[in-house]
């Protein structure tokens, strides 16, 4: 079996990813960071200044390995790009500096990573995508009125993100991304792909909804972070890996945790 991806959950200034990523890049294997690079957890022994240095290190990795390093955006990252994206633990002392780092690297970031392994669809995001959030927003961020499937929707979101980095106000994009459900203390019917709690994704995972009728309700395999835990949490085809450890996704479509204290789950 061959590793197709190394998947790095929420960083928050920590360095648990360094050695695995070094190994991955030496092998020519792609690395996907799930976002939340800044705003360290209280009690982790990481300062805001440490987190800023680690973020710059990750940006250098992206610049040096543009085709091998994918940087997704999380809710904490988007908090530096729009006032709609409220986030706790924001580093106000370095706010302008951090915002400039995001805005000066417009092609470095994206919202999702999609792929197929043995013809099975995989979706990698910061927090996971629910059917309710998709249904509520799929026509709000696109002019397309046909049988919108999740692939087309995600592509449209990336177009909106690119337009924001090129100078548009991004209001429609951030209006959708800023939605927070009661699972996380919000008032929206569902949390967005950067705000959804793992439990709401487990309860209501988005379906593929392609144009082919046979696959109409096919469920995607999702990999995401955002909801912190000590180990990986899985339910059906959804996997939350926000546990401060690096995972691999191999060419059989199997998600492994070889860096979980030496154990493979």
Two structure tokens written together for 112: 């999702």
Q: Residue 111's pLDDT is what?
A: 98
Q: Are 195 and 212 in contact (CB under 8 A)?
A: no
Q: Please report which confidence band the pLDDT of residue 264 belongs to, taking 50, 70 and 90 as the band edges.
A: very low
How confident is the prediction for the chain on average, in pLDDT? 90
Mean pLDDT along residues 100-118: 96
Determine contact, residues 83/174, Cβ cutoff 8 Å: no
Are 117 and 4 a contacting pair, CB within 8 Å?
yes
pLDDT in tens, 194-236: 999 999 999 999 987 644 444 555 668 999 999 999 889 999 9
Output the pLDDT for position 212: 47
If one looks up domain 3-256 in CATH, what number appears?
3.60.21.10
- Of 225, 10, 230, residue with least CA distance to 128: 225
42-101: pLDDT as tens digits: 888 999 999 999 999 999 999 999 999 999 999 999 999 999 987 788 999 999 999 999
Domain boundaries, the chain: 3-256
Residues in contact with 2: Cβ distance below 8 Å, sequence separation at least 6, in sequence order: 250, 251
| Structure tokens that stand for 71 in this block | 């940087």
């Amino acid at each position: 079996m061959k590793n197709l991806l190394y998947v790095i959950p929420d960083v928050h200034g920590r360095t648990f990813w360094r050695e695995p990523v070094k190994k991955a890049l030496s092998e020519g294997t792609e690395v996907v960071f799930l976002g939340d690079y800044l705003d360290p957890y209280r009690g982790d022994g990481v300062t805001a200044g440490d987190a800023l240095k680690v973020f710059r290190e990750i940006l250098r990795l992206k610049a040096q390995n543009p085709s091998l390093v994918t940087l997704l955006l999380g809710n904490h990252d988007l908090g530096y790009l729009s006032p709609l994206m409220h986030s706790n633990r924001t580093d106000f002392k370095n706010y302008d500096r951090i915002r400039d780092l995001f805005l000066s690297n417009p092609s470095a970031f994206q919202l999702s990573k999609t792929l197929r392994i043995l013809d099975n669809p995989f979706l990698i995001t910061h927090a996971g995508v629910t059917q309710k959030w998709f249904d509520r927003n799929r026509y709000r961020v696109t002019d397309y009125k046909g049988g919108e499937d999740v692939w087309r929707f995600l592509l449209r979101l990336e177009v909106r993100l690119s337009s924001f980095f090129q100078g548009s106000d991004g209001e429609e994009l951030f209006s959708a991304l800023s939605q927070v459900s009661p699972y996380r203390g919000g008032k929206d019917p569902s949390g967005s792909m950067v705000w959804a709690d793992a439990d709401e994704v487990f309860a209501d995972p988005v379906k593929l909804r392609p144009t082919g009728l046979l696959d109409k309700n096919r469920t995607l395999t999702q990999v995401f972070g955002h909801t912190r835990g000590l180990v990986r949490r899985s339910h059906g085809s959804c996997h939350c890996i926000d546990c401060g450890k690096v995972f691999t996704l191999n060419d059989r479509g199997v998600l492994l945790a070889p860096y979980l204290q030496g154990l493979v789950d």
